[in-house]
Chains A and B, each alone.
Chain A
Amino acid sequence: MSSGEMMHERKRVTWVSYVALLVAIVIFSGYFAKVTEWWRVFDFTTLLGSFGNIKGAEASFNFRGAGGVGARDGFLFSLSLMPAVVLALGIVSIVEGLGGLAAAEKMMNPLFKPLVGVPGIVGLAFITSLQSTDGAAAMTKQLFDDNEISDKERTIFSQLMFSANATITNYFSSGAALFAFLSVPIIIPLVVQFVFKVFGANLMRIIVNISEKKAVA
């Protein structure tokens, strides 16, 4: 089977995929947040824009106002977040559609074995887990049922997904509630999440290995 046929089932990865992935990373990194030239279009907050201010006494508030509490304040606050969620998931969808996530998977495949000790075949499930908890979990079960991964590898891989599950979707929906209140670029907390996902999986790997050795002895 040619590699072309093998890729047929999945999204095709071309140079466009890599460019899409790179552009998305730049947009979400906030790298161009401070520039004033035209290339600030490659920045999430620029694309998000701003609500108009309600002309008032001395301060100019947007529709959320200030000093609200309780359900009403929570509701208006949620409303103010929706553009960010709609925009972010729209961008993620383009990246996915152009094969950007498949490109990320391709680059990551050789890393799974050395980094967390599970075979690279979990790549697609992992990429899925960034967007959907349920889909990725079902794929993981399938990988075990097909004897592609052992029970031990399933436990380690499950840990990799479990902590900060549906990473991208959650971060750019719920997390958007806090983007305006961060004193670091929004990509940094995301990178920290990935670092600890890998850390946690390795902790699980060590513990599972020890408990298996005990079981044999």
Chain B
Amino acid sequence: MANSAEKQKRENLVDMFIQGARKGWQISTNSMLPNVVMAFVVIQILNVTGLMKIIGNVARPLMAVFGLPGEGVVVLLSAFMSTGGGCGAAASLYGSGALNMTHVSILMPAIFLMGSMLQYLGRGLGTADANKKYWGLHVGISILNALLSMVVMRLIMAFF
């Protein structure tokens, strides 16, 4: 082929897409699905045992500040452990009617801003060899980010 040299230099669009799509498949099966299944099982356990109602009642005053029902706290706690779990918990609670679209929208950025903190301590800060003196603060600031983002999302919701 005349332009094979050119082709070698430039990966074609199809190859690029397939590469990314394959990564998407791997993330879906290795990371997302196990996390979502875990979150759905946790929510099921909380529902069956009646713990969800108790958590909802206890967290109601705090979550009300962000325009969320008490159950919203389960999403944040799950997110802290794993981002995928937080998303799964939110999806499950949406499915059961505990959260509506406005609630999910308010929670959305927060799930990521305070997501997978423990994991990222090792994989992020540990690998970068960041000053250990500030590790606690990294977590604290990220949680603050998440809380403030819910306030901002609540304001943004006024436009939609």
Interface residues of A (CB under 8 A from B): 68-71, 73-75, 77-79, 81-82, 85-94, 96-98, 133-134, 136-138, 140-141, 144, 151, 154-155, 158-159, 161-165, 167, 169-171, 173-175, 177-178, 181-184, 188-190, 192-193, 195-197, 199-200, 203-204, 207-208
Inter-chain contact count A-B, CB under 8 Å?
Answer: 251
7 A-B residue pairs with Cβ-Cβ distance under 8 Å, sorted by A, are A69-B96, A71-B37, A136-B124, A164-B112, A174-B31, A178-B90, A196-B145
Interface size class of B (residues with CB under 8 A): 35 or more
| With known contacts A133-B123, A199-B148, A89–B105 Cβ distance under 8 A | no
Residues in B neighbouring A71, C-beta threshold 8 A? 37, 40-41, 44
Contact B129 A144 (CB under 8 A): yes
B87 at the binding interface (Cβ < 8 Å): yes
Nearest chain A CB to B75 CB, angstrom units: 10
B58 at the binding interface (Cβ < 8 Å): no
Identify which of residues 104-154 in chain B touch chain A, using a CB-to-CB cut-off of 8 Å: 104-105, 108-109, 111-116, 120, 123-131, 134, 137-138, 141-142, 144-146, 148-149, 152-153
Out of A93, A177, A203, name the residue touching B21 (CB < 8 Å). A93
Nearest chain B CB to A215 CB, angstrom units: 10
Nearest chain B CB to A151 CB, angstrom units: 6
Out of B13, B127, B149, name the residue touching A138 (CB < 8 Å). B127
Residues in A neighbouring B144, C-beta threshold 8 A? 200, 203
Listed residue (A92, A94, A140, A162) with the most chain B CB atoms within 10 angstroms of its CB: A162
Docked CA distance A183–B157 (Å): 8
Residues in B neighbouring A182, C-beta threshold 8 A? 101, 104-105, 108
Residues in B neighbouring A163, C-beta threshold 8 A? 113-114, 138, 141-142, 145-146
Nearest chain A CB to B18 CB, angstrom units: 7
B49 at the binding interface (Cβ < 8 Å): no
Contact B36 A184 (CB under 8 A): no
Identify which of residues 57-105 in chain B touch chain A, using a CB-to-CB cut-off of 8 Å: 83-84, 86-88, 90-92, 94-96, 101-102, 104-105
Nearest chain A CB to B24 CB, angstrom units: 3
| With known contacts A77-B40, A158-B125, A162-B125, A178–B130 Cβ distance under 8 A | no
9 more contacts with CB within 8 A, not counting A93-B23, A196-B146, are A74-B41, A77-B91, A78-B28, A93-B21, A94-B17, A137-B127, A151-B131, A181-B101, A193-B113
| With known contacts A184-B160, A199-B145, A137–B125 Cβ distance under 8 A | yes
A contact face: mostly helix, strand, loop, or mixed: helix
| With known contacts A163-B145, A173-B28, A197-B145, A78–B37 Cβ distance under 8 A | yes
Contact A89 B129 (CB under 8 A): no
Contact A74 B37 (CB under 8 A): yes
| With known contacts A78-B28, A163-B114, A173-B28, A193–B36 Cβ distance under 8 A | no
B50 at the binding interface (Cβ < 8 Å): no
Identify which of residues 22-56 in chain B touch chain A, using a CB-to-CB cut-off of 8 Å: 23-25, 27-29, 31-33, 35-41, 43-44, 47
| With known contacts A77-B36, A189-B153, A200-B144, A161–B91 Cβ distance under 8 A | no
Docked CA distance A86–B40 (Å): 22
